[in-house]
Amino acid sequence: MTQPAHLTRRFFLQTSAAGVATTAAGVPAFAATSVNFQLSWLHSVQFGGSYIAAQKGYWTDQGLDVSLSQGGPNAPVEPPVVSGAALVGISAADYTAAAVAEGAPFKIIAVAMQKNPFAIASLTANPVNTPADLVGRRIGMAVANTPVLQALCTLNNVDINDIEIVPTQYDPAPLVSRQVDCLLCWETDLPVAMTVQGVDNTTMLMADHGYALHSQTYIATEDAIANRRADLVGLIKGEVMGWNDYVADTDAAAMLTVEMFPDAGLDPQTQKLQAARQVPLMFSDLTDEKGFGWFTEETVAENIETLALLGRDVSADLWDRSILEEVHV
């Protein structure tokens, strides 16, 4: 139900990037296994840890020759993964739940974004700091996002009928011009764009108010987990190393992204700010203790609750931690 919301966000991020694939840096090890890794959107620092893994040869060291295939409005993640053309794809819990409901044999094997990036952005002079602050306000959003807003309202005992929904394109302009009081967006894009433009803004992260939905998740098929386990472990090991380097120097990750994709129209300042904004979404006390990508029975239970509010009834076996348990030994 939330897919159109992601698409509107993604159209804002779309660049002129060509449909290129990137292979692991260095000379592949003898008899390296070719692996296709399907990203969820066009190249940007959103996938900075993966670029570091490629550039530093972390996958080569695992015996893998990894191609990073960018996604886009015409390149959904699920088909290449379900067909076996890609070993792993980057998705989100609601996407995966929808695909499984249609019969896709997917499992979530790791979670990059521990906190969902959906946020309510407002001008600092007229902030929305809590869900209760939404009452009486005009919120700009895609109408397709209504279930997301409804879930937030349900979790926080707010009547959605007390909020005026104004259909808008995925752009900060309606907020900057005060046509609306706030926007439903991702923490890492429209607020970043406004900050770069010098517009003082405030964000309320929905994850801080009960909206628990894993994002930037790694999905694989049951068949791949059973029959290509070593490749999955190697790919996730490379990812973990890449993202650990990322968090140590987000500016370097942003500049690597700009350098790797010179035709993508990526602005260095925007990429640096986005890279920094991603850190509290991707790293937490849990990842500090257990390692990048980790999830627990408790976080899964919270996701199941949020997915139910979005109209997706799933069970805990949608998540499979066995690959992570081999990675983080």
Express each pLDDT in 88-138 by its tens digit: 999 999 999 999 999 999 999 999 999 999 999 999 999 999 999 999 999
Which pLDDT belongs to residue 74?
Answer: 85
Q: Please tell me whether residues 186 and 103 are part of one structural domain.
A: no
Q: Please give the structure tokens belonging to residue 174.
A: 């309606």
Give the pLDDT score at 329.
87
Domain count for the chain, please give it: 2
Same domain, 73 and 170: no
pTM: predicted TM-score of the whole model, two decimal places: 0.89
| Domain boundary residue, one of 209, 230, 259 | 209
pLDDT of residue 175: 98
Residues recorded for the chain: 329
Say yes or no: 228 and 168 in one domain: no
The whole-angstrom separation of Cα 68 and Cα 73 is: 17
pLDDT of residue 93: 96
Q: What angle do CA 3, 7, 13 make, to 5 degrees?
A: 145
User: Is the distance from CB of 41 to CB of 71 less than 8 angstroms?
Assistant: yes
The domain containing residue 29 runs over which residues?
3-115+213-327
Residues of the chain with pLDDT under 50: 1-25, 27-29
> Is there a single domain that holds both residue 199 and residue 92?
no
154 and 99 in one domain?
A: no
Q: What is the pLDDT of residue 186?
A: 96
Phi and psi, residue 204, nearest 5°: -110, 110
The closest of 15, 29, 28 to 261, measured between CA atoms, is 15
**For the segment 265-297, what is each residue's pLDDT rounded down to a tens digit?**
999 999 999 999 999 999 999 999 999 999 999
Claim to verify: residue 147 and residue 29 sit in the same structural domain: no
- The pLDDT, as a whole number, for residue 108 is 98
Given this model, what pLDDT does residue 19 score? 35
46 and 160 assigned to the same domain: no
